[in-house]
Amino acid sequence: MNKLNRTVTALGVALLFTTSIMLVGCSSKPDEAQMKQLADLKSEVDALQKEITSKEGEKAAFEKEVAEKTAKLKKVADDMAVVKQRLANK
């Protein structure tokens, strides 16, 4: 009985060991070139995100500039109306 137990245990351990080795060894892994491709892709995404931040800043500055110039132009139009009025009252 004792001998049978020992044999079953030994077999169980051997089976577990073999299964684990097969599971780890047999799953396919990406090679070095593929890992590099992934790393390059990540760097490219990072660079693009940085570029977007910079472009958004540039866009905001232009938006501000255009708004200021539009306001200035509107003020000139208002000034013209005032000058016409003053000339009429002179």
**Least Å distance between CB 80 and another protein?**
5
11 binds another protein (CB under 8 A): no
Residue 30 structure tokens: 């990406």
Q: Which of 27, 32, 33, 36 binds another protein (CB under 8 A)?
A: 27
Of 41-80, which residues contact another protein (CB under 8 A)? 41-42, 44-45, 48-49, 51-52, 55-56, 58-59, 62-63, 65-66, 69-70, 72-73, 76-77, 79-80
Size of the site for another protein (CB under 8 A): 49
Q: For residue 56, which amino acid is it?
A: E
37 binds another protein (CB under 8 A): yes
Please provide the DSSP assignment of 20-85 as one string: HHHHHHHS----HHHHHHHHHHHHHHHHHHHHHHHHHHHHHHHHHHHHHHHHHHHHHHHHHHHHHH
